[in-house]
Chain A
Amino acid sequence: MTSTVPRVTPAEPGGVTTPGPGRVQPAGSKPLSTRLHRSPRLRLLGLLALPLTWLVGVYIFSLVMLLITAFWRTDPFTSKVIPGFTLDNFVRLVENPAYLSTSLRTLSIALLVTILSVVFSIPLGIFMAKVASPWLRAFLAVAITLPLWAGYLVKILAMRITFTENGFFNSALEPLGLSGPGFSYTTVVLTLTYLWFPYMALPVYTAVRQIPANLFDASADLGARSWTTIRTVVVPLLKPALIAGSIFTFSLSLGDYLAAKFVGGSTQMIGSVIASNINLNPPIAAAFSVVPIVFVLVYLFAVRKTGALDRM
């Protein structure tokens, strides 16, 4: 290729001046950029077009459809869904004791999973952030996130092999005349804690890391023992992280049904009921799926009341 540098010859009076070697040509020859620069509204539209399409078109739309379906009813003979407006589905939820106890059981499972995750992740976070050597810290960070890389069913299977009928605990405890938790409520709680623990442990660990080391020193200096320091300094400073983590552990547990199906035995969760009605009676399934949404909203409202969201 020969030289592409444009040359201005004396024969072209008034021609474009050649940029010298040290000068940079202005990038002003792009009409779209110029237009966008002049109009803030157009810029905003460009920025939000894709996320809005997704948010409104898919996310909100499907949620609204779900809510609407909850007010429809099913023909008992043909199982055909008939559009309309009826509160029957919600009345059945409250009146049927099985539905009510399932709701409360699901709520208690979600709360227990959240509490267990908090109890495990605070000491772990403090250890990783303040005590462990850099090598051990990296190892633990990988160990915590590793379960996230494995498939969901794989992990449930792992828990099944460990805790249920012919699982490790039953075999190991048999000579002592004891038995492991088996297919039960307990195993569901343990399995869900195992599944969602990383969502609590990671934000808590990050938050502990951000607490300046000298706050620990200052607390000890002023006479506080370790437990007092954790209670009065560490936990209050971890509040935003605990809330962020608990929103995950709580809402993910509320919505789960596979754990109950594979390790719960007869333990039913809201998800189990929805799953079994999804074909037979979509309106009751839709109505029931409003329950966890209400639980999460109540939870968020309660959290908001404590003022902890103000600093998020």
Chain B
Amino acid sequence: MNRFPLTLALTLAPLAVAAQDTPELIVYTYDSFVSDWGPGPQIEANFEAICDCDLTFVGTGDGAAMVARLQLEGTTTDADIVLGLDTNLTAQAAATGLFADAPADVAAPQLPVEWDDPIFVPFDYSPFAFVYDTTIVETPPTSFEELAASDLKIVIQDPRSSTPGLGLLMWVDTLKGDDAGALWEALSDNIVTVTSGWSEAYGLFLEGEADMALSYVTSPAYHIIAEEDETKAAAIFEEGHYLQVEVAGALAGSDQPELAAEFLRFIATDGFQGVIPEAQWMFPAYPIDLPEGYAALNQPETSLLLSAEDAQARRADALAIWRDALSQ
């Protein structure tokens, strides 16, 4: 007797019926990538114009959970490509054995750091940074120490549930290593709160709950270009900024391996990269002409990035230090 609502929901659910004639490429990504304002719809149109295929983006919630999602589905997954992991999570993803090597002829990306990952193809990047309102913060801090010594209020993300949160954790870990605890303790009176995702943190910052939010060097570009608001800027730290490099990878179990390879090559082209700056609000991973608003961005001179293996190896210790320091 409980069947009824289940069947109801089942029949009314738009079941993914594969189009029979044209091959379908299924790409798992996070929700905001496929939203109307994200880059997904335009990239889909651009790729379908050249591939004679049906590209389907499947938004699977948020980025931090994508690896877990894949592990849950295992080899039964329908996905051909996973797009939107960052380098702090790729070692774990590669270790699942679910991924195939990228085709050898994918162009080399232009990133502020060396790139030689055999599996994953980067599609965009940005240094993490604390974004502030220039009408409120007159002299932004130039280091973590200055930030900790100031009475500026910041909002950050929880590294256990959010990729920027994890990025900040690795940033501090890269700079301070096992002494990170002292810095986190010094920062604790600056931290208004720790949110579960980027959206909440940035939303709170825009609502005036904090002076700064952990976000991206590229975040002000959104305000400059889309809102003609030049009051948001990223504070540049002299010691350097940790990068978020977002990548895509093809699954070994894909029933469309050639199409998947074609898509990975497509990432390096204008049809993909051209959409990134004004929909994803990140730097493209391959050189293209950037929109004017990007010229106004503050940019760090030094970029930091742990290798995927090191990031994976350091994560548990860095998390424990973070948690202990902020639990005092």
| A and B physically associate | no
